[in-house]
């Protein structure tokens, strides 16, 4: 089963939930965690899996053979991202704009374009006990996280249980990470910001046709109603509440996983994962 | 133009609370919400929309059934796995146009995509430019650029001194787009293990694009040891630390009440945010 952990808003505790689930399950069974928040990959701060191998992520970018090029301008015309310009007798390539689609090299009438790999990030793999961590990391200054996310996802093993830590927001890199999962857990907090961003995330999962449930982080009796009411109206289950608690926040700040400190939390996450696997998606838990 | 962009690498560090507080404190400014896929500033500023428009950006391919002879070429060429059974999957299509140019039967059309909306509004603290990216859409960077361009035009028209921009999370395309050419970036950091690594990556992006940066630590008393580590990091790198804000429920309460925290909390929190504003306002004026 593939479960993606998303949140419209950043900093709601997505990584806390993803790593807690993965660590709790890994005590009994093998599981993969995919860190697809490639702009800020943080899951391994909690998982602490020693990295054993790394694979660079490339985008194939055009290189022009000046001897063959007739300056016809076809490449610049077909490139949808303005990554190539032909100026009188020169062809300029702007590598950061190139999506590596391959159109220019295929369509060049003189076969003057070959592709060279340009690195934009890296995928790293590590293990800790039953847990396999696959994390993507976008190089600084690179604008496009999607190729890195795509690469990370090629490691997902459908035979196993997989937890995906997704970037915040609802734009294309988020869709790329969430796509193909069997269930999406949306992490939010009981504030108007949390509610607004949650409703955007729900819209996204509905567009993708993926069932979802909500975890309320920094829950507080006086405020939770805001989210619970929305969930009731939208027929989305509230799966778990993690209280607004200074001790939990402090553990988090030190990178200490909650589930390794407190058995009741480990059990809560285990029960939640079991319920998801059994298809009992509408059960609410309170640890 | 004195444009101050507030970013954080990681989301949820209090970026929007600080931007809203600057709105309440600062004189003579336009506000811009560049967190276009999860914008929240409007939830504390209650804008009245005075102008709005559609944001059309990018294209997607569509195969015209009657014309396609099912040769399979497009499917083979598309590098994004977006064509299956002679149909284009909207969510996977990157709009590169390779298939359109290559199709021997001329059966593919490229269609414009409505990706979002932009708004110019009035608030009790001055004009606000904001936007909403439709969930799952691409080109958030271009929408960010559009928001900034409109904010700039407004500032010039009304002879306002500053643009205060609530930036997006992460380090990718929308962040790069919100930073380019700005007078300075205020990085809001959180004293957690992930906060430190996110801060380092955000500083990396600022350096890469030559944007002067300053740091503010939010929730500094959550983990004073890591807080000191951030202070050391800043002084080693010659990055000005402009202020420290406590871990205080006032932030959450203010959001719940729909007011900037600097207005909700009259005491030390307001004083500190005022000090931060004056420090950075003076600094950008001198530049
Ligand atoms: S399409 Fe080929 S021949 Fe024409 S300008 Fe580009 S590289 Fe040169
Ligand atoms: S590979 Fe595609 S995106 Fe890159 S330069 Fe060629 S046409 Fe443009
Ligand atoms: S290349 Fe054109 S004709 Fe061939 S399968 Fe694709 S759309 Fe149909
Ligand atoms: S436009 Fe590009 S990404 Fe979209 S279907 Fe055609 S080849 Fe694939």
Q: What is the pLDDT of residue A40?
A: 87
Q: Which CATH architecture has domain B2-46+124-286?
A: 3-Layer(aba) Sandwich (3.40)
Greatest CA separation for chain B:
72
- Decide whether any atom of ligand 2 lies within 6 Å of the B96 Cβ: yes
Going from N- to C-terminal start, the domains of chain B cover: 2-46+124-286, 59-114
B229 inside 8 A of chain A by CB: no
Q: Which of B135, B178, B208, B253 to mutate to test the interface with A (most CBs of A within 10 A)?
A: B135
Write the pLDDT tens digit of every residue in A27-73.
989 999 999 999 889 999 999 999 999 999 999 999 999 999 999 99
A207 inside 8 A of chain B by CB: yes
Does residue A202 surpass a pLDDT of 80? Answer: yes
- Under 8 Å CB pairs connecting chains A and B tally to 192
Q: What is the pLDDT of residue A48?
A: 94
Mean pLDDT of chain A: 91
A141 inside 8 A of chain B by CB: yes
Summarize the confidence of residues A260-267 as an average pLDDT. Answer: 91
Residues from chain B that touch A187, judged by Cβ atoms under 8 A, are: none
Residues from chain A that touch B101, judged by Cβ atoms under 8 A, are: 78, 103, 107
Q: What distance, in Å, lies between the first and last C-alpha atoms of chain B?
A: 10
Summarize the confidence of residues A168-192 as an average pLDDT. Answer: 91
Does residue A284 surpass a pLDDT of 60? Answer: no
B-proximal residues of A, 142-171, CB under 8 Å: 142-145, 167-171
Buried b / exposed e over A100-136, threshold 16 CB at 10 Å, is: bbbbbbebbeeebbebeebebbbbbbbebebbbbbbb
Q: What is the pLDDT of residue B194?
A: 82
Q: What is the pLDDT of residue B247?
A: 87
B170 inside 8 A of chain A by CB: yes
Going from N- to C-terminal start, the domains of chain A cover: 2-57+121-286, 66-111
Residue with tokens 């077909």: A78
Which one-letter DSSP state was computed for residue A83? -
Does residue A286 surpass a pLDDT of 70? Answer: no
Which chain B residue shows the shortest CA-CA distance from A224?
B256
Q: Whose CA is nearest to atom 6 of ligand 2?
A: A104
Percentage of chain A lying above the pLDDT 70 cut: 97
Does residue A9 surpass a pLDDT of 80? Answer: no
Pairing outcome for strands B126-133 and B29-33: parallel
Q: Please, which pLDDT band fits residue A12 given cuts at 50, 70 and 90? A: confident
CA pair distance A72, A63, nearest whole angstrom: 16
Mutate to test the pocket of ligand 4, among B63, B88, B106, B112 (most ligand atoms within 8 A of CB): B88
Q: What is the pLDDT of residue B206?
A: 95
Does residue A285 surpass a pLDDT of 60? Answer: no
Which chain A residue shows the shortest CA-CA distance from B41?
A193
Mutate to test the pocket of ligand 2, among A81, A91, A95 (most ligand atoms within 8 A of CB): A81
Q: Kindly give the distance from the C-alpha atom of residue B155 to the centroid of ligand 3, in angstroms, as a whole number.
A: 50
Q: Kindly give the distance from the C-alpha atom of residue A65 to the centroid of ligand 1, in angstroms, as a whole number.
A: 9
CB under 8 Å to B40, separation ≥6 — which residues? A9, A192, A193, A196, A197, B16, B33, B166
> How buried is residue A85: exposed, middle or buried, by Cβ count under 10 Å (0-12/13-18/19+)?
middle
Residues from chain B that touch A203, judged by Cβ atoms under 8 A, are: 135
Which one-letter DSSP state was computed for residue B218? S
Q: What is the pLDDT of residue A281?
A: 64
Distance from the Cα of A35 to chain B's closest Cα (Å) equals: 13
Whether CATH 3.30.70.20 fits A66-111: yes
Q: If residue B99 lies in a helix (H) or strand (E), which one and from where to where?
A: helix B98-102
- Decide whether any atom of ligand 2 lies within 6 Å of the A83 Cβ: yes
Find the CB nearest A255 among B13, B193, B256. Answer: B193
Q: Which CATH architecture has domain B59-114?
A: 2-Layer Sandwich (3.30)
CA pair distance B11, B181, nearest whole angstrom: 22
> Which ranges of chain B have pLDDT less than 70?
none
- Decide whether any atom of ligand 1 lies within 6 Å of the A236 Cβ: no
Q: What distance, in Å, lies between the first and last C-alpha atoms of chain A?
A: 23
User: Under an 8 A CB cutoff, do B77 and A42 touch?
Assistant: no
Write the pLDDT tens digit of every residue in A216-237.
999 988 889 999 999 999 989 9
**What ipTM was assigned to the predicted interfaces of this complex?**
0.84
- Looking at the domain that runs over A2-57+121-286, which CATH code has it been given? 3.40.50.300
Output the six-digit token pair for A213: 């449930």
* Dihedral angle of Cα B251, B257, B263, B269, to the nearest 10 degrees: -20
Instruction: Answer whether A128's CB lies under 8 Å from A49's CB.
Output: yes
Write the pLDDT tens digit of every residue in A83-141.
999 988 889 999 989 999 999 999 999 999 999 999 999 999 999 999 999 999 999 88
Does residue A287 surpass a pLDDT of 70? Answer: no
């Amino acid at each position: 089963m593939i479960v993606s952990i998303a949140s419209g808003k950043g900093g709601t505790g997505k990584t806390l939930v993803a790593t807690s689930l993965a660590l709790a399950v890994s005590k009994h069974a093998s599981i993969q965690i995919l860190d697809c928040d490639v702009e800020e990959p943080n899951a391994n701060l909690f998982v602490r899996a020693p990295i054993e191998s790394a694979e660079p992520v490339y985008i194939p970018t055009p290189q022009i053979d000046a001897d063959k090029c007739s300056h016809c301008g076809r490449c610049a015309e077909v490139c949808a991202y303005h990554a190539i310009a032909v100026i009188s007798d020169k062809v300029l390539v702007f590598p950061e704009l190139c999506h590596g689609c391959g159109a220019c090299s295929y369509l060049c009438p003189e076969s003057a374009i070959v592709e060279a790999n340009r690195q934009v990030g890296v995928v790293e793999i590590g293990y800790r006990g039953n847990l396999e961590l696959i994390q993507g990391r976008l190089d600084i200054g690179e604008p496009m996280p999607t190729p890195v996310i795509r690469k990370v996802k090629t490691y997902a093993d459908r035979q196993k249980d997989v937890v995906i830590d997704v970037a915040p927001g609802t734009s294309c890199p988020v869709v790329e990470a969430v796509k193909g999962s069997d269930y999406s857990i949306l992490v939010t907090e009981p504030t108007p910001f949390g509610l607004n961003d949650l409703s955007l995330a729900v819209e996204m999962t509905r567009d993708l046709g993926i069932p979802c449930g909500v975890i309320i982080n920094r829950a507080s009796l006086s405020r939770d109603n805001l989210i619970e009411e929305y969930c009731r109206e939208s027929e989305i289950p509230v799966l778990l509440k993690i209280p607004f608690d200074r001790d939990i926040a402090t553990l988090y700040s030190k990178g200490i996983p909650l589930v390794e400190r407190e058995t009741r939390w480990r059990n809560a996450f285990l029960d939640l994962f079991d319920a998801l696997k059994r298809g009992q998606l509408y059960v609410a838990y309170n640890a | 133009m004195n444009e101050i962009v507030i970013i954080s690498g990681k989301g949820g560090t209090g970026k929007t609370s600080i931007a809203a507080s600057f709105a309440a404190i600062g004189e003579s400014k336009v506000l811009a919400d560049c967190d276009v896929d999860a914008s929240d500033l409007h939830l504390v500023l209650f804008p009245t929309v005075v102008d709005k428009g559609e944001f059309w950006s990018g294209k997607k391919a569509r195969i015209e059934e009657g014309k396609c002879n099912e040769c399979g070429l497009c499917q083979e060429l598309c590098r994004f796995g977006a064509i299956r059974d002679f149909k284009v999957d909207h969510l996977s299509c990157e709009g590169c146009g390779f298939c359109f140019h290559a199709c021997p039967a001329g059966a593919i059309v490229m269609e414009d995509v409505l990706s979002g909306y932009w708004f110019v509004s009035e608030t009790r603290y001055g004009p606000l430019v904001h936007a909403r990216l439709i969930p799952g859409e691409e080109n958030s960077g271009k929408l960010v650029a559009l928001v900034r361009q409109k904010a700039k035009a407004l500032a010039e028209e009304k002879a306002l001194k500053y643009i205060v921009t609530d930036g997006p999370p992460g380090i990718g395309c929308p962040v790069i787009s919100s930073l380019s050419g700005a007078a300075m970036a205020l990085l809001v950091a959180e004293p957690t293990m992930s906060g430190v690594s996110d801060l380092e990556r955000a500083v990396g992006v600022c350096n890469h694009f030559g944007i002067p940066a300053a740091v503010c630590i939010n929730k500094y008393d959550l983990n004073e040891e890591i807080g000191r580590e951030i202070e050391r990091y800043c002084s080693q790198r010659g990055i000005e630390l402009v202020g420290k804000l406590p871990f205080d429920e006032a932030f959450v309460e203010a959001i719940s009440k729909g007011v900037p925290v600097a207005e909700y909390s009259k005491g030390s929190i307001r004083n500190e945010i005022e000090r931060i504003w004056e420090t950075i306002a003076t600094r950008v004026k001198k530049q």
